[in-house]
Chain A
Amino acid sequence: MSNSFEINWNLLLPEIVLVTAALFLLLLGVIYRVRAGGTGPALAGAVLSLAGLVVCAFMTLAQWDTVSGTFHGMLRIDPFATYFNLLFLAGAAAGVLLSVREAGSLRGVAGEYYALLVIATFGMMVMVSAADLLVVFIGLETMSLAVYILVGSRREKAESNEAALKYFLIGAFASGFLIYGIAFLFGATGTTQFRGLAERLATTDGGPSGLQLLGLGLVLIGFLFKVAAVPFHMWVPDAYEGAPTPITAYMAVAVKAAGFAVLLRLLNVGLLPLASYWLPVMWTLAVATMLVGNLGAIFQSSIKRMLAYSSIAHAGYLLVALASINPLAANPADDRALLAVLYYLAIYTLMNVGAFGVLIYMGTAGRPMDTLEQVRGAGFRYPLLAAAMAVFMFSLSGIPPTGGFLAKFYVFSAAIDRGLISLAIIGVLNSAVSVYYYLRVVVQMYMRESEEPLPALSFSLPVALAILLSAWGVLQLGILPSCLLDAAGRAVQFLR
């Protein structure tokens, strides 16, 4: 054990910037509450948090070539961490942009709202740049606690309370499993560091012990709750529907990406010696998750709830990629399953930010956009918005030339590469089913007349910006994916 205090604080600079921004945001709440300002705190909060996120993003970008660890091997910055950190920052920035319009109704807690959003992002960055299960656990809890609160931040609304409660109870239950699993993995190997874990698991004589498998199982249950895989998905529709829409978008993109990023690192570094045990589990869960997500989505009349089931289905496609990982690949950059996950999560972020953005834009204060009937005729009344929505729906269902198509293509071809033909076929069939409910939204917008005239929408620059950037990204990366693929390829090199 080295007792030296040589800590490289530079590696932690982006995180420090985020926490500083969050502290200023908290102060903001105090300053404005004294002056009893109207929309002042909401606007100032948005500007301040965006500034913090942008500065942090530049610092993270500067770490692109860094491969280093510090804090007694608990922190590890490598391109894999940097790739996901940038993704989380993008998701958080989208969350802020989408919140600007609704933040007026936060009544005195706008500063705290943005501060929690920033700290949740901080938690994700800690998780993905951790090299130790204990740090992963603390980062995960920081993120989760902040998101529970954000889900319940509309405290005068019963749906918001209820969603927060259900999400919280299930989340706390899941973290019980996670910590018990960590305890067993520690007991079986004597370490919680990923590298040490892999070494000791690989050198166990006569196959893994019961304690190791128990640890693996419990840790997996803990994470699968977070990424909403069946059968641990039951909280998703309620939490997504009840949360304020910008937070739903944030949960759908950033929280899910964080869960998968950590799972990827844990499975590929720490638990790689047990691959023959977790690969079949992923196979089964992938099938179940795709089926439940897609079948559930068909019967929804609320678009928000439909997107919640769709997020379960997309978790299923991502699990297909996890089931197709080749544990023996000499160079992880050659493993197409890993590349597919990274590309998929980036595209998924863009599609969801866009789709939720359109829902927010189309809603007005007295008439929140929710059901399929409400978008009837939107194609004629709001041509630009409807066109953007159509792009996102095409992309979600995987129709070319959008990014969603390529994402699914990479996932399924990775499965075929590994000989999982039946899994790929089930996946393709599922995604064919999904076309039905995604295109139903487009059909309602363009082929039905609305019963009552649709109201004029007030222009909102931040929301429009979020929608525009996502639409551009979905199309651009669907036609010319090479730059993102290069980045992902470099990122996965440092996995394992």
Chain B
Amino acid sequence: MAEQILFYLFAVIAIISALSAVTRKNPVVSAVWLVSCMCSLAVIYVLLEAYFLAAVQVIVYAGAVLMLFVFVIMLLNLRTGIIGQFRNLGLKFMGLVLTVIILRQFYTAFKGTSLILGNAGGLEPGFGEARAVGELLFTRYVYPLELISILLLVAIVGALVLAGKESS
């Protein structure tokens, strides 16, 4: 029961934060709302017994990714004058209509599906902990792991090529 209450509480916080994040004028405020959204998702991850991922969510998303956002916003010194507003009203309305349609689509898809997956015997002990994640990561998922290392290399090189100091 406590699980249910916590879930509802943080689901509501996540939705409110997400809505605020995409509607605020000032990107810094948006970023802070997004942090709140990510952290409430981390709580839900804990409820779902994804302990390691909850930690990563806080450290990587709330900690690194959004810090980087805030850092760039500050670096560019965005003043209100050059901060973009919404697009015109027509597009806003279209966005709203589209949102409702897509959401309805999702809802009917979920409703028409029996979502009983094979989890009769409960979760194994240690499910979602760092050990279980690590074991899989270095056995079955070793190929994607190697690939991700190249992807991160691309990101580093890319950031340097694009934003690094001009060397003439």
Contacts and interface: CB of A to CB of B under 8 A. Distances in A.
Contacts of B148: 138
A155 B162 CA distance: 6
A1 B161 CA distance: 42
Given A115-B157, A145-B155, A210 B113 contact: yes
Contacts of A155: 161-162
A51 to B, nearest CB: 20
Interface stretch (B57-65, B88-96, B104-112, B126-134): B104-112
A250 interface: no
Interface centre among B109, B110, B111 (most CB of A within 10 A): B109
Give chain B's interface secondary structure class: helix
Interface residues of B, number: 32
Contacts of A138: 144, 147-148, 151
B86 interface: no
Contact of B167 (A7, A107, A146): A107
Nearest to A107: B168
A116 B112 contact: no
Nearest to B114: A209
Given A142-B147, A142-B150, A211 B110 contact: yes
A3 B118 CA distance: 22
Interface string B135-168: 0000110111001101101110110111000111
Contacts of B120: none
A164 to B, nearest CB: 8
Contacts of B155: 145
B76 interface: no
B158 A149 contact: yes
Contacts of B166: 107-108
B140 A141 contact: no
A134 B144 contact: yes
A139 B144 CA distance: 9
B117 interface: yes
A115 B158 CA distance: 10
B167 A19 contact: no
Interface stretch (A67-75, A234-242, A284-292): A67-75
A152 interface: yes
26 contacts: A71-B142, A72-B143, A74-B143, A75-B143, A107-B166, A108-B168, A113-B161, A119-B150, A119-B154, A122-B150, A126-B147, A138-B148, A141-B151, A142-B147, A142-B151, A142-B154, A145-B158, A155-B161, A188-B113, A190-B118, A210-B108, A210-B109, A210-B113, A211-B113, A211-B115, A213-B109
Interface of A: 1, 3, 5, 7, 19, 26, 33, 71-72, 74-75, 107-109, 112-113, 115-116, 119, 122-123, 126, 134-135, 138-139, 141-142, 145-146, 148-149, 152-153, 155, 164, 187-188, 190, 209-211, 213-214
A-B pairs, top 10 by smallest CB distance, nearest first, are A210-B109, A149-B158, A71-B143, A108-B167, A210-B112, A209-B113, A214-B109, A211-B113, A138-B147, A210-B113
